Chains A and B, each alone.
Chain A
Amino acid sequence: MLGLVLAVFAVPLYWLFSSALKPENEIYTFPLTWVPSSLEWGNFVEAWTSAPFGAFLRNSVITTVVGTALEIGVAVLSAYAVAFVRFRGKMLVFAVMVGSLMLPGHITLLVNYITVSSLGWLNTYQGLILPGIGSAFAMFLLYQQMRQVPGELVDAASIDGAGHLRRMVSVVGPICSPMILTATLIVGIGKWNDFVWPLIVTSTADMRTLPIGLMFLRSQEGYDSWGPVMAGTVIVAAPMLVVFFLAQRRIVGGIVSGALKG
């Protein structure tokens, strides 16, 4: 039973990696070749040269890193404000922000495109990044964590004369840092994988991100050139797999505890 389950997940993933490394004639044979007779790195070279993968990679890294830093930054600030700053009616503001979780991405797509276009941001990094930095999800996650910070600690710091900024940086921040890291990973993975927004907001190959670049590669290679296309797919997928294997416990733990606590 467990073997069957293993096969369902392992075989497609194995096929992805093995095909990326197969010599061309072993891809186009039947019966199938399960184990490549030699490792053919040429597929990666072919993919990298027939589409500007260097630019795709750069754009993906920039949008993911800058976008994630900004989103987590605004999320930390706003979560702190709701959790610790005294303001009548703050829960109403909080509710309005969290309510935006109900808005499906596709209803904002068209107007955001028009907005970004009228700002002259089409095909730019600010156009790629800025519409995605508003964060109800990360704010909510961090707010829940901040509520657990023992009040004595924050009070003690404020009696010592620490202002909100110092309290945030030196008391609340360190205590919440595991959750900040988890939120950073989840947000970052989402940005790396993002598809429809980069698809519509960029228009030239040198501004595309990796997931969109993968489609470009397919159109360049012709639609049956599976060796290089699988190599390109590995390039797109591998960074997320590496992050996942390195931080598996934290990522899965964060997602699972979010689900179990509802």
Chain B
Amino acid sequence: MTVLADRRRARPRPPAAPRRRSATRTRALLREGLLFWALILPNLAAIVVFGYYPTLYNLVLSLTDWDFVQPAPVLVGLDNYVELLRPGSVLADALRNTTVFVLVTVLGTMVGGLAIGALLAQRLRLSGVVRTLAFAPHMLPGAAVGVLWLFLFDPSYGLSRWLFEMVGADSPRWTTTSDFSLWAITIAYAWQRLGFVAIIYYAAILDLPRDLYEAAALDGARGWSLFRHLTIPLLSPITFFLTVTGVIAAAQTFDIIATLTNGGPGTSSTTLPWLVYEQAFVSFDIGTSAASATVMFVLLLVVTLVQTRVAHRQVHYS
């Protein structure tokens, strides 16, 4: 790849164009310009109409009161935000649940994925099979993963009962009690993502420069200290990438919640995306839903920006 890129850069430049553009040249440029817009337009139009415009109009809707039925949204200023930011509001619950869900799934899959990735990189027997099976859940529809885990969590006939019976306990009623529902969606989602993270780490570890390891081995470093002081720092760009994409993906998880708990019981497993959906399409409270979506958008934007800044300071790029 780099070879090609270099060759391309070294390509001899065409002789400098005469200062005054001839009429043909102007026409050619104009034609190129028109062609550019023609080629880009379908994609650009779709992105503007179904991406940027909704984001802006959502902001307007967040300042209104509407239920889909009234002829038009009624402006109410910042009322929706005031209501949502009141302590003890449903948004506060959703923020707390989202934070727990995101932190636990991202941290859990990173630590677990790194361990599994390092194990796979030893290329033991069977590790090919494990790689395939580990990545498979990432390919599945979240709805299928959710329904599968609903069965696994079943306190009477699911694997959960078998697992808990081994230690002589009853299975929790994972999806129907508010003490466990958040953990149910967390576990199911982490299971779906874990193998993906592991495979990325596995590929990254195989990609590390061998000569550094040989040099470190000459210095007497081995085992855990090699992993701790060489592998982990070398992997920091990947860790950073997985953190950013992980937080963004986890914070938007919807299908697993919709199939496992419907955000309940009560608000015990309501996260931001579920709240946005429920307020709009179950309670038909358009203004409030738009305001919640805006809060979610701003938070994700802040997370992205902060992480990018941190990256510039702390990530080791080889």
Contacts and interface: CB of A to CB of B under 8 A. Distances in A.
Contacts of B297: 103-104, 107
B238 to A, nearest CB: 7
Interface in A129-171: 130-136, 139, 147-148, 150-152, 164
A102 B252 CA distance: 12
A240 B140 contact: yes
A153 to B, nearest CB: 10
Interface range on chain A (Cβ under 8 Å from partner) = 35 or more
Secondary structure of the A contact surface, majority rule: helix
B52 A103 contact: yes
B230 interface: no
A5 B116 contact: yes
Contacts of B151: 15-16, 19, 226, 229-230
A244 interface: yes
A69 interface: no
Contact of B4 (A31, A96, A113, A148): A148
A78 B199 contact: no
A202 B177 CA distance: 31
B269 to A, nearest CB: 16
B50 A115 contact: yes
Interface residues of B, number: 95
Contact of A5 (B130, B141, B258): B130
A212 interface: yes
B263 interface: no
B141 A192 contact: yes
Quick one: which of B43, B45, B272 has the most chain A CB within 10 A? Answer: B43
Contact of B126 (A2, A12, A248): A2
Contacts of A111: 53-55, 57-58, 61
Contact of B241 (A2, A150, A164, A262): A262
A187 interface: no
Contacts of A237: 140-141, 144
Quick one: which of A1, A12, A86, A240 has the most chain B CB within 10 A? Answer: A12
A104 B248 contact: yes
A110 B290 contact: yes
Interface in B44-74: 44-47, 49-55, 57-58, 61
Contacts, number: 274
B252 A5 contact: no
A164 B35 contact: yes
Given A78-B44, A100-B52, A195-B255, A259 B238 contact: yes
A74 B143 contact: no
B137 A106 contact: no
A256 B200 CA distance: 6
Given A77-B42, A104-B252, A215 B143 contact: yes
Contact of B162 (A31, A230, A241, A259): A31
Interface string A56-80: 0000000000000000011101101
Interface stretch (B5-13, B83-91, B212-220): B5-13
Interface in A202-222: 210-212, 214-215, 218
Interface stretch (B100-108, B178-186, B221-229, B274-282): B274-282
Interface string B123-166: 01011011011111101111110011101101011010110000
13 contacts: A9-B130, A13-B137, A30-B162, A81-B40, A113-B280, A131-B50, A151-B11, A193-B142, A196-B254, A233-B148, A241-B140, A244-B135, A260-B200
Interface of B: 1, 4-5, 7-8, 11, 29, 32-33, 35-36, 39-40, 42-47, 49-55, 57-58, 61, 116, 119, 124, 126-127, 129-130, 132-137, 139-144, 147-149, 151-152, 154, 156-157, 159, 161-162, 191, 194-196, 199-200, 203-204, 207, 237-238, 241-242, 248, 251-252, 254-255, 258-259, 272-273, 276-277, 280-281, 286, 289-290, 293-294, 296-297, 300-301, 304
